[in-house]
Structure 1
């Protein structure tokens, strides 16, 4: 190891800590080789249990952990076994499951690939906004059943994406990315976020409104708020009841942000439509009526990074590792004071 801390010539001792499945998905051979070019990487297998003799031996001299899904909590006992550990680079989104108070008390630096994971979630959201605006699912079903196109000049004016009003709940990483992706399209975009004022919203190119106004005005509402005690059940019967007939609710955030019973009633009544990548609970019971609901589309929490999109997570983590080792600090730091507002 050159140097005793981040800066020119410093090669940190690092180890991957995550489930074997996560490592196989995100840290392919190319990513591991790239990591080895930056750091002295502990030999595989990855650490998925920090209490074993091998894990304690590895942790004894690591400066940095590259974490992922399934990383055990970095609690007081784990940190006691890792006296040199000073940084965590997470290859996924939320660090809540493994970065503990003990990490912050030590003053550790933490980075997350949440910005990279936000990209496919926003792309999924944009796709669903556009497809539901054209009523693609319903019209494809009718086409399959009738085997004829019908008279397109009699298409109802509620169908189409010109001049639709889209509401974004929370200017989170994903919410902001969705706003960016919506810009080339002919939408009016409203934003509800209690931490974004009117001037900041205008800078994003959207109109800041209250939550009730957003639901009452929007043809489509997309939910991107983190699940916090104050946001559990945030979207309830009153808000859902205020949506225009035929409006769409898209949820890629957390199922518990929405009152599932109230949403189910509104969807089964045919008053609104729903695209749900998350539910409460997840997965819904096999006999839940939304499975067969004509106006509900359920997907298996697939909006986030999958398949070749895992490479984006690895690339961001690699860049962050290199920045930290060079002394430049993280480009995507997770701050202790902001942790409560992250998904």
Structure 2
């Protein structure tokens, strides 16, 4: 990959003067333009060589300029998933690198995953409601200790979740990814093994990307294989779970759920998930923490430094 000899545009959703370590525009030949998804584009898409997708603005905004980006060489997301960009990839020229934000969200998403597990098992939502009602809701509640946790989607976020589970004395952590392999902490099973593994798990964590293979992965059959009283935690994407199938299970009281992502999303007022028994909902905040911006800026500075030097970017997940 080489940078154009004439200046080329870089579209950033963060003002360039707020990112330390960017290549100097006068020396590198990079012209930084700010666009966070507003109605007016910052320049001609045909002049954009490096496009950083606005964060958490949705598919419509993410793909809006892609059809005009005839000279783009890198499309960089600031999310771990790329599903909001892939619908527009067909309009891009060949050889474009699509990069994700590996290294930005692992810590924050893993933190929230543990928070959701602990809050759900230990009954924290009920305690908050009890405090509001001035009710003393004592009793015995499930612990994370001695539980078997199944992580479905064992990439960098899945591994970060396991790292944080280690001090909690779980009986076992079972790992599942698209393909089987030997991981740093032990064997990683294939998705095809889920029917055998699901009945063994007390907690099932979904941290997989949204792909055609994983859309509605947690369908009626999947949920039906989970043991009575098990907890489903979704920090992946809402459509990984079949919402109607989940509602049937939680309304029957057979399993519980903690959802940072939903389908539909945002969850509209009046949707039955809001008040379904045993369901804890958070508004897609797995990566939206104080850790995001410094890590995102470091990633962009490193990627653009490589780009200016004619080197390959990191975190390439797809090449058109």
Q: The residue matched to 2:288 in structure 1 has which SS?
A: coil
Structure 1: gaps (5+ residues): 18-22, 338-343
Question: How big is the shift at 1:41?
Answer: 4.6
Q: 1:193 aligns with which of 174, 177, 193?
A: 177
Question: How big is the shift at 1:171?
Answer: 1.6
Q: 1:270 aligns with which of 232, 253, 256?
A: 253
Moved more, 318-327 or 162-171: 318-327
Q: 1:208 aligns with which of 157, 164, 189?
A: 189
Q: 1:305 aligns with which of 288, 302, 305?
A: 288
Q: Could you say which residue in structure 1 is the equivalent of 2:208? A: 225
Call closer, same or farther: CA 1:137–1:50 in 2, change over 3 Å: closer
Q: Could you say which residue in structure 2 is the equivalent of 1:341? A: none
CA distance in 2, matches of 1:27, 1:160: 45
Q: 1:15 aligns with which of 10, 30, 35?
A: 10
Q: Could you say which residue in structure 1 is the equivalent of 2:120? A: 132
Question: How big is the shift at 1:124?
Answer: 1.0
Q: Could you say which residue in structure 1 is the equivalent of 2:146? A: 163
The superposition leaves residues 252-295 of structure 1 with CA deviations (integer Å, 9 ceiling, x where unpaired) of 21222222122112212222211112222223443232212241
Structure 2: gaps (5+ residues): 56-60
CA distance in 1, matches of 2:37, 2:123: 45
Bigger fraction of residues in helix: 1
CA distance in 2, matches of 1:194, 1:95: 16
CA distance in 2, matches of 1:119, 1:146: 35
Q: Could you say which residue in structure 1 is the equivalent of 2:54? A: 68
CA contact (8 A) 1:191 1:214 kept: no
Please say if 1:35 is aligned against 2:22: yes
CA contact (8 A) 1:90 1:317 kept: no
The superposition leaves residues 41-96 of structure 1 with CA deviations (integer Å, 9 ceiling, x where unpaired) of 536453859997x723x744x543344343445655430xx4xx433343344445
CA distance in 2, matches of 1:254, 1:139: 28
Bigger fraction of residues in strand: 2
Q: Could you say which residue in structure 1 is the equivalent of 2:58? A: none
CA contact (8 A) 1:104 1:336 kept: no
Q: 2:160 aligns with which of 161, 167, 177?
A: 177
CA contact (8 A) 1:50 1:78 kept: no
Equivalent residues in 2 for 1:308-323, closer than 5 Å: 309-323=292-306
Question: How big is the shift at 1:149?
Answer: 6.9
TM-score, normalised by the number of residues in structure 1: 0.75
CA contact (8 A) 1:120 1:303 kept: yes
Call closer, same or farther: CA 1:266–1:331 in 2, change over 3 Å: same
Q: Could you say which residue in structure 2 is the equivalent of 1:260? A: 243
CA distance in 2, matches of 1:309, 1:162: 30
CA contact (8 A) 1:191 1:207 kept: yes
Q: Could you say which residue in structure 2 is the equivalent of 1:20? A: none
Call closer, same or farther: CA 1:46–1:138 in 2, change over 3 Å: closer
Q: 1:117 aligns with which of 100, 105, 121?
A: 105
CA distance in 2, matches of 1:144, 1:301: 25
Call closer, same or farther: CA 1:207–1:325 in 2, change over 3 Å: closer
CA distance in 2, matches of 1:229, 1:5: 33
CA contact (8 A) 2:200 2:227 kept: yes
TM-score, normalised by the number of residues in structure 2: 0.79
Question: How big is the shift at 1:244?
Answer: 2.8
CA contact (8 A) 1:268 1:290 kept: no
Q: The residue matched to 1:250 in structure 2 has which SS?
A: strand
Tell me the number of residue pairs that the alignment of Structure 1 and Structure 2 aligns: 308
Moved more, 231-240 or 315-324: 231-240
CA distance in 1, matches of 2:151, 2:133: 35
Call closer, same or farther: CA 1:308–1:170 in 2, change over 3 Å: closer
Moved more, 204-213 or 310-319: 204-213
